[in-house]
Structure 1
Amino acid sequence: MNKNNNQWSTKLGFILSSAGAAIGLGAIWKLPYVTGQSGGGAFFLLFICFTLLIGLPMLISEFIIGRSTNREAVSAYKILAPHSKWTWIGKLGVIGCFLLLSFYSVVGGWILIYSGKAVVGDVIQPGQNPGELFGMVTGSPWITIVGLLLFTVINVLVISLGVQNGIEKANKIMMPLLFIFFIILVVRSLTLDGAMEGVKFFLAPDFSKITASSLLYALGQSFFALAVGFSCMVTYSSYLKKDESLPYSAGSVVIMNIFVSLLAGLAIFPAVFAFGFKPEQGPALLFMVLPAVFGKLPFGELFFAIFLLLFLFATLTSSFSLYEIIVAALVEKWPNARGKIAWVIGAVVFIASIPAALSSSTLSDFTIFKKSIFDATDYLVSNILLPLGNLLIAIFIIHKMDQKLTKNEFMQGSNLPIGFYQTWRFLMIWIVPIVIAVVLIYTISQY
């Protein structure tokens, strides 16, 4: 493997790839329905505030760890804290990404199947029941397995090509298309009669609707949405050149993530309100409500196909980062075997994902603590491992890492006043770990 192919060729390539890692199911699928269930505009405003105060400092932290060592996640912690238990942070990231892929790939497969059906006109038809169609897709073992296989193969093909020729090139194509497609959908959604009610719901804060639960959901979403906690960004930033500004790069990623979340809300809520649907439909919003909404639009099948394609792009760009942290850890030992490693990891992930893929069909009666295999894995990853990873990284970078090194990495490549570094350090000492600990304790207590 060409060594240069293990670095980002441009700053734009790094930012687009990092933004792609962050923009996925969280921004386009989870945020809209959680916003719908949690008070609309007030929740979205809180999400933005917490993303800037919690997510951004955590993102900068992972960037610092990665670039300071120029090593993937597992090796990075070994270099910074040799012969200590803190090296398990990187291993936790690899384990977490593997478990996340075991159900994330299943959803990716559903989106692939839906995208194919939408392109040929099989999703929105007269008399078609979106709920029955969703049940048919998720309840068929063969359909879910085929979708899972196709999604896995696409990821492996891109990852096997390396950083520049695979991940960076794919993101340079997919991310601009994602923004273009989203803007088309937003324009169409905003021109519907009654659309302004949806805009008002999404952007006009009504803090009377905020509860303790929605407040903590906003806190959790702020770092879930940026792909921090599993050290994916440690691996991505290890490929970054020393003359790039980490705070500027992290800020660009956060702004793009918030912008896509804004576009997602403006594409969905005006259409939902225009046709009299309820915004608090939950996880079924994408697959069951939106087909009904788009079905009432002229050229609705075309617009829904566009929406699914951009959703597929976002899902893939996120899964690239999950695969890369696993593959990169092994490439560190066998640098000339990236292609073979990618295919082996892809095969293992595919096999490990089969139980989750079958949890709505063949294995529907099998439960773990009263949850399906899919839901149990989701709960373990999202509510325990991810917050735990964030908390450990927050403690590590302040209390275990050389503070001269963190300051140099933070300030390098930029002309920022020292006050920016001091603000970041204050947040990482007094705000971020406390907030993450609260989220972790709350989510565990709700089980």
Structure 2
Amino acid sequence: MRTTEQWSSKIGFILSAAGSAIGIGAIWKLPYVTGINGGGAFFLIFILFSLFIGFPLLLAEFVIGRSTQKEAVSAYRSLAPTTNWHWIGKLGVLTCFLLLSFYSVIGGWIVIYFAKGLFGGIISEGVDYALVFNETIGNPILVIVAQFAFLIITVLVVSKGIKNGIEKVSKILMPALFILFFILIIRSLTLDNAMEGVKFFLAPDFSSITSQTILYAMGQAFFSLSVGVSVMVTYSSYLSKKESLIQPAISIVTMNLFIALLAGLAIFPAVFALDLEPAEGPGLLFVVLPAVFDQIMFGEVFLLGFLALFLFATLTSAFSMLEIIVASVVKGNEAKRTKFSFIIGALIFAVGIPSALSYSVFADILIFSKNIFDAADYLVSNILMPLGVLLISIFVTRKISKSTLREEVLQHSRLGASAFTIWFFIMKYIIPLVIIVVFLDITGILDKIIEFF
């Protein structure tokens, strides 16, 4: 069955898909995982994974979705009937469910900070912003209420559908986010000792690279681009057959890397200028932002504006995660959308409560030395997403005819057959090999190779 809605324009699709990709992945997560994993070397590896693994995968998911015009599970079933390959779509749905369960916790943190900003309760002279953050996420009732509020907003928008919900919001919010980022970067770069932060972020120290650095960089690339979970299969199923697939893929990867660069240039100069710890962890952004805006005239106003846009960028990612789940249930029957949006939202909220309480009530519960929140993040980013990427690369090159792939990839594009040949080779041989080597590095082979060089 053909999906009942489509994007009203190519720019609407690009901004919505970019909103899915950018969100917390580029703004919240990239700075802190970069800080934990040594800075510039990690960022460089992240860029390489985004370009040479993420981009081909993004294009592959576009091919699956646009060629079938179906949501994730039905798309795989349509291309490979009477097989079990549709479980790739189900794996994506499960991954998005788990991802949104802890992602909504971070969204709740932003809701709290935004609410505090409305009443001028964030910036204050002599405040220890790290302590404020720890006290905030350590308040069990507050974080659960905030997580609930974030999910309610997400559910309401997704329940409105594609054109009137996701696309309309994304067209307004994504451009505004870039403007606020530039203001933050200008101030961050003019702080004393800011260049030390720039060096940390952009000057690679290859001696700091380990197999964990590579694994986390790969997971971050997949997380940032929303690949491996079939979100882009569902989003591209709403795209007209008249549109090129290559141009949106290039635009999304470029925007994602640009936002990642902006996030690093906004955060790390301030980290070093304010003598903070780059390996702060998940709270890095919430500690640095108030400290930077504290140095700016009318900083409270600018901080509130940035928090608003950060919240909206986070929501655009949440929209995509909920959309793939809802779309897989309603299967084009839009009459069911509102009902199932709320039911699924409620289930995600319930599953996310342990993550929300990971820094308070459940702080002592550890899974492989990680709290529940970090364990959920690790499971999604470093196990389920790479697994999804591996399966998609195998599926695309072995279950879809080469002629169909060539037609979809090159349609309305100026690129020739050689570009398709390179893409196909990367998908069939390079990506599976990279995933297997990095993902299954149980014996420490990567560390031995790194030590050799």
TM-score range, shorter chain: over 0.9
* 2:438 maps to amino acid: V
Q: CA deviation at 1:355?
A: 2.3
CA distance in 2, matches of 1:437, 1:303: 45
Return the alpha-carbon distance in structure 1 between the equivalents of residues 79 and 18 of structure 2: 26
* Structure 1 stretch displaced more, 162-171 or 437-446: 437-446
Q: Is 239-248 or 365-374 further displaced after alignment?
A: 365-374
* SS, match of residue 200 in structure 1: helix
Deviation readout 1:298-323 (Å, 9 max, x if unpaired):
43333433332232122111111000
The range that moved more, 120-129 or 55-64, is 120-129
Q: Secondary structure at the match of 1:7?
A: coil
Cα deviation, 1:225-256, whole Å, max 9, x if unaligned, reads 10001100000000001111111110110000
The aligned residue for residue 199 of structure 2 is 200
Tell me the distance in 2 between the aligned counterparts of 1:343 and 1:296.
42
Cα distance between partner residues in 2 of 1:56 and 1:394? 12
Query: How far apart in 2 are the matches of 1:324 and 1:444?
Result: 38
Name the structure 1 match of 2:359.
360
Distance in 2 between the 1:16 and 1:333 partners?
22
Q: Corresponding residue for 1:173?
A: 172
Partner of 1:138: 137
Match of 2:146 in 1: 147
Change (3 A) 1:238 1:306: same
Kindly state the Cα deviation for residue 267 of structure 1 after the two structures are TM-superposed.
1.0
Please give the residue correspondences for 1:281-300 in structure 2 after superposition, counting only pairs within 5 Å: 281-300=280-299
Equivalent residues of 2:23, 2:316 under 8 A apart: yes
2:386 pairs with 1:387: yes
Q: Tell me if structure 2 keeps the 8 A contact 1:102–1:352.
A: yes
- Secondary structure of 2:241's counterpart equals coil
Output the CA distance in 1 between the equivalents of 2:67 and 2:430: 24
For residues 309-348 of structure 1, the aligned pairs below 5 Å read 309-332=308-331, 334-348=333-347
Match for residue 243 of structure 2? 244
Equivalent position of 1:270 in the other structure? 269
* Residue in 2 that maps onto 1:308: 307
Q: 1:372 to 1:192 in 2, by over 3 A?
A: closer
Cα RMSD after superposing both structures: 2.2
Residue 356 of structure 1 aligns to a residue whose secondary structure is: helix
Matches within 5 A, 1:83-162: 83-162=82-161
Residue deviations 1:171-225 (CA, integer Å, cap 9, x gap) = 0011111111111211222233332332233223343443443233323322221
Q: C-alpha distance in 2, partners of 1:428/1:293?
A: 43
Worse overlay, 274-283 or 401-410: 274-283
How many Å separate the matches in 2 of 1:35 and 1:375?
16
Distance 1:89 1:444, change over 3 A: farther
Q: Which residue of 2 aligns with 1:47?
A: 46
Amino acid at match of 1:258: L
Q: Structure 1 230/242 Cα, relative in aligned 2: closer, same or farther at 3 Å?
A: same
Question: Structure 1: which 5+ residue stretches go unaligned?
Answer: none
Aligned residue identity for 2:105? V
Single out whichever of 310-319 and 192-201 deviates more from structure 2: 192-201
Deviation at 1:114, TM superposition (A): 1.0
Q: Work out whether 1:76 is the aligned partner of 2:84.
A: no
Q: Aligned partners of 1:244, 1:384: CA distance in 2, in Å?
A: 33
Q: Give the secondary-structure state (helix, strand or coil) at the position aligned to 2:218.
A: helix
How does the TM-score come out when normalised to structure 2?
Answer: 0.92
How far the C-alpha of 1:3 sits from its partner, in A, is 6.9
Q: Secondary structure at the match of 2:226?
A: coil
Contact kept, 8 Å, 1:383 with 1:443, in 2: the verdict is: no
| Alpha-carbon offset, residue 372 of structure 1 | 3.0
Aligned CA distance change for structure 1 residues 199 and 372 (closer, same or farther; 3 Å): closer
Aligned partners of 1:221 and 1:119: how far apart in 2?
32
Q: What is the distance in 2 between the residues matched to 1:67 and 1:406? A: 11
Deviates more, 1:313-322 or 1:352-361: 352-361
Does the 8 A contact of 2:63 with 2:408 survive in 1? yes
Amino acid at match of 2:217: A
| Counterpart Cα distance in 2 of 1:444 and 1:315 | 37
Percent of pairs with identical residues: 59
| Greater displacement, 180-189 / 355-364 | 355-364
The structural deviation recorded for 1:278 is: 3.5
More deviation, 211-220/377-386: 211-220
Whole-Å separation in 2 of the counterparts to 1:376 and 1:213: 15
Structure 2: 5+ residue runs without aligned partners?
Answer: 447-453
Checking the alignment, whether the CA contact within 8 Å between 1:7 and 1:239 is kept in structure 2 is yes
Look up the SS of the partner of 2:437 in the other structure.
helix
Aligned position for 2:61: 62
Quick one: which amino acid aligns to residue 428 of structure 2?
Answer: I
CA distance 1:107–1:402, change in 2 (3 Å)? same
- The range that moved more, 161-170 or 431-440, is 431-440
Alpha-carbon distance, 1:68 to partner: 0.7
Residue type matched to 1:288 in 2? V
Q: Which amino acid is the alignment partner of residue 245 of structure 1? A: S
